[in-house]
Amino acid sequence: MRYAGWPGRRRVSRVFENEQRSLLSLDAVTLDAGGTRLIRPVTADIPLGARTVVLGPNGAGKSLLLRLCHGLITPTSGRLEWLPGTAKAPPRQAMVFDRPVLLYRSVAANIRYPLEATRVPRREHAERLREALVFAGLEQRARQFAPTLSAGQKQRLALARAWALRPDVLFLDEPTAHLDLAATRDIETMINAIHHKLAGVILTTHDLAQARRIADHVVFVHKGKVIEWGAADSFFDRPRAPEARRFLNGELFE
């Protein structure tokens, strides 16, 4: 990936900022499926303009939590409120899935499609497409059939495609799982560079070093329950919950 900054944007978190600092608040949100409770009542706040990292072992419920926040699944009970206390509409969001969803089309068509479908002004398409191809390092592969890309190329494409929409909030589910070292660094650079211009970046990762490098705020999930949430520094240095301590030591088994 070659994140090299994009034409200046308004600082979104300022735009949304009010007397409060919360981007999204979850109030007793639960989720049931297949006859079991997958998410036990979550009450938490995602801060505005920050990098929130959702941590937890495999199967904890991180991806489900991201989907709930992004509105892909409706909670069984409880409610979510964007920018609580304001009457503002939810900010524009984009999500990159842990298994990127690519259309059965060329790389370029994969980037172009959401630009067209979400009514990005037509005059910007060419430029955004070019930028996204550079970002993904796929300039030479614009016409390749996307399903034939390598694992890392797929993930890069999905990231570049999401960013081409210039969302205010970015959900990233294990965005660097298949990326090489150089691309991983670029993504981190990008997140660090843009997050303060956005309303928020919410991501998951299993790379704890990466989490330390990125996170302003941590949400720690275990067995479908949010066990701990708050500032990143205090979480990493002085985790309160015993599960969190064991998780950080790589000792927590599902």
Ligand X SMILES: Nc1ncnc2c1ncn2[C@@H]1O[C@H](COP(=O)(O)OP(=O)(O)OP(=O)(O)O)[C@@H](O)[C@H]1O
Binding site for Mg ion (CB under 5 A): 63, 150-151
User: In terms of CB distance, is 59 or 114 closer to other proteins?
Assistant: 114
Number of residues lying near ligand X (CB under 6 A): 21
Is residue 59 involved in binding ligand X (CB under 6 A)? yes
Q: In Å, how far are 57, 64, 147, 150 from 68, measured between CA atoms?
A: 18, 6, 27, 29
Rounded to a whole number of angstroms, the minimum distance from the CB of residue 39 to ligand X is: 8
Is residue 153 involved in binding ligand X (CB under 6 A)? yes
Rounded Cα–Cα distance for residues 75 and 69 (Å) = 9
User: In terms of CB distance, is 46 or 94 closer to other proteins?
Assistant: 94
User: In terms of CB distance, is 178 or 196 closer to a second copy?
Assistant: 178
User: In terms of CB distance, is 46 or 48 closer to ligand X?
Assistant: 46
State the binding string over 143-182 for other proteins (x if CB under 8 A, else -): --x-xx----------------x-----------------
Is residue 52 involved in binding other proteins (CB under 8 A)? no
Is residue 102 involved in binding ligand X (CB under 6 A)? no
Q: Out of Mg ion, a second copy, ligand X, none, which partner does residue 236 contact, by CB within 5 to 8 A per kind?
A: none
Q: Hey, which residues does 107 pair with through a beta bridge?
A: none
Is residue 175 involved in binding ligand X (CB under 6 A)? no
Instruction: Give the binding site for a second copy (CB under 8 A).
Output: 2, 33-34, 56-60, 62-63, 98-99, 137, 144-145, 148-153, 156, 173-174, 177-185, 206, 208, 247, 250-254
Is residue 250 involved in binding ligand X (CB under 6 A)? no
User: In terms of CB distance, is 100 or 239 closer to other proteins?
Assistant: 100
Rounded to a whole number of angstroms, the minimum distance from the CB of residue 1 to other proteins is: 20
Q: Which residues contact 56 (CB under 8 A, 6 or more apart)?
A: 62, 220, 221, 222, 247
* Closest to 199 measured CA to CA, from 98, 52, 3: 52
Measured in whole angstroms, how far is the alpha carbon of residue 140 from the centre of its chain?
27
Can you count the helices (H) and strands (E) in the chain?
9, 9
51 close to 172: Cβ distance less than 8 angstroms: no
Out of 59, 78, 84, 114, name the contact with other proteins by CB under 8 A.
Answer: 114
125 close to 116: Cβ distance less than 8 angstroms: yes
Q: Hey, which residues does 221 pair with through a beta bridge?
A: 226
**Total Cβ atoms within 10 A of residue 77:** 11
Is residue 101 involved in binding ligand X (CB under 6 A)? no
Chain contacts with ligand X (rule: CB under 6 A): 33-34, 36, 38, 56, 58-64, 98, 144, 148-153, 178
